[in-house]
Structure 1
């Protein structure tokens, strides 16, 4: 095994130790193969992630090995490495990696980072959340075809409001819809919009879609996970490689591809050729920021009609107008 190589990444020398180490055993791709993948998709990758804080998911022995999430960068880092202070819901702060350029991505890959989870704001403007992220989460027993149908319904509903949605695979069993936003709202407002969207989708398609936070109430329906928009929450990044043995990629796709896409085939072995042939399906989205006002109007309507806020994740402090944070079956027993 080669001990180390030094790569010139956009004018920055980045060492890569043990480049021949197998990270993805299904086809035998190595740490260096992962670096080469990110170099191949650098343009769209940095358009999606550039300037944003990153939570690293580290697998130093490769996919399937021991792993942990790392929000705080190590103490000994290169002088050129850019970080920013991020907070947890309880106020704990950390110096997190910023996707300043491709060298920062390669530096993290060298640490065994097989997954990047991305904040919904730029490090330069943490007070502004500029992405709405709609996570279509398949409950047990839900097929990918049901997730696909839900994506179409979500796009149709957003289209009624004049809101453009972008689409990507998750690298696993679901789909993500993104909306690039005008720089006007914070994370609490974006989450409120997501709750309103989830509830309206459930009203229109109750047999297919659910906005119920408690798993016992979802049934075999697609859950629209509004809490992925809670402040300080991260979502797996576009163009990023999942820590799965097949090296699946969370891949942006065009809406015209949705009906025929097979997410498991989108890997570091296939995605670079797609990008070379078709380019970036999200190209230009930053120049077309969208308004949340129609969804926020629905949120105000729901609250005025007597609905409470939806439950928050357990790590968050109790929120105003939040219902009791306890599963319905447990509440009945109590």
Structure 2
């Protein structure tokens, strides 16, 4: 490792990666620097690469650190300084294409950190097999009035349903106020099929616990319930990655954990400063995901049952083209026609 006043060079994955302005404070309320962030990713390299290695990533860059302005960088081009960067062509939700960075190894991760990327938004496909989504990602999202205890309960309900269907699942914190539940899939289904399975799962969860869980796309219909965000599985949609650091004042990490930890997991305790020691102590709770990919068929069977009952598709996000069998994309309150006055 070479050091100068303005540059620190880290030797990683057979590359020399330059960290410019290493002392620049990225988390003002905590004091951690750009170099601290790079060292965090070095410390969690093994589980990080197991979760994200070989996948395209979307970079959200924070040139002035957390709390400062940011922008998404969809396109990455190798330069004379970094000709070794690996990229791949990906499709974006609006139908355009972009050349995205591939998280081939930790050198690519640290290159992005040097560019001001704090955490990574990860595709559900690998660069080697872009046609098949090999992850189902259930986002348990807190609506106003929802506590983290309710999120935990929603995660337990999600696990119970997936267990009933014979589908193994793995939780992580989002790095904010929610929980993601992942299912590593056999690479046999495309993003449209995976989303259909996620819609069916969300609807079944709402049927079982309508007091706690909702799949209502329109916020005005959710109430104080946990939203099961099925559209995180829409084709070409990225999700904030496992082991990534959030650009919030607390430097919280989107941390994988085991199901037996659910009752005691506290997102505020899982930060850039604390997660490396946790990994050293407990290892990777997702270590077996790649060796036991799951079938999507049980969830697709739920989808077929819903379609046979005459249900329509759920609404898609506005950046996607109108889809077959999709209901109106107008919020219910705006779609209601005023009642004509009686005479």
**Shared fold, TM over 0.5:** yes
For the residue of structure 2 that corresponds to 1:282, the secondary structure is coil
CA contact (8 A) 2:77 2:87 kept: no
Cα distance, 1:89 vs. partner? 2.4
The residue aligned with 1:86 is 90
The residue aligned with 1:245 is 249
Cα distance, 1:333 vs. partner? 3.5
Show CA shifts across 1:128-167 (max 9, x none): 1000000000001100000000000000000000000100
The residue aligned with 1:45 is 48
- Distance in 2 (CA, whole Å) between partners of 1:136 and 1:31 is 30
The residue aligned with 1:278 is 282
The residue aligned with 1:304 is 308
1:123 aligns with 2:127: yes
CA contact (8 A) 1:196 1:299 kept: yes
- Distance in 2 (CA, whole Å) between partners of 1:183 and 1:142 is 35
For the residue of structure 1 that corresponds to 2:290, the secondary structure is helix
The residue aligned with 2:27 is 24
CA contact (8 A) 1:25 1:246 kept: no
- Distance in 1 (CA, whole Å) between partners of 2:9 and 2:204 is 52
Q: Number of aligned residue pairs: give it.
A: 334
CA contact (8 A) 1:52 1:99 kept: yes
1:132 aligns with 2:136: yes
Cα distance, 1:20 vs. partner? 0.3
For the residue of structure 2 that corresponds to 1:258, the secondary structure is helix
The residue aligned with 2:58 is 55
**Unpaired segments of 5 or more residues in structure 2?**
339-343
Cα distance, 1:245 vs. partner? 1.6
For the residue of structure 2 that corresponds to 1:286, the secondary structure is coil
CA contact (8 A) 2:124 2:135 kept: yes
The residue aligned with 2:164 is 160
1:229 aligns with 2:240: no
- Picking from 310, 313, 322, the partner of 2:326 is 322
**Unpaired segments of 5 or more residues in structure 1?**
none
- Picking from 1, 6, 24, the partner of 1:3 is 6
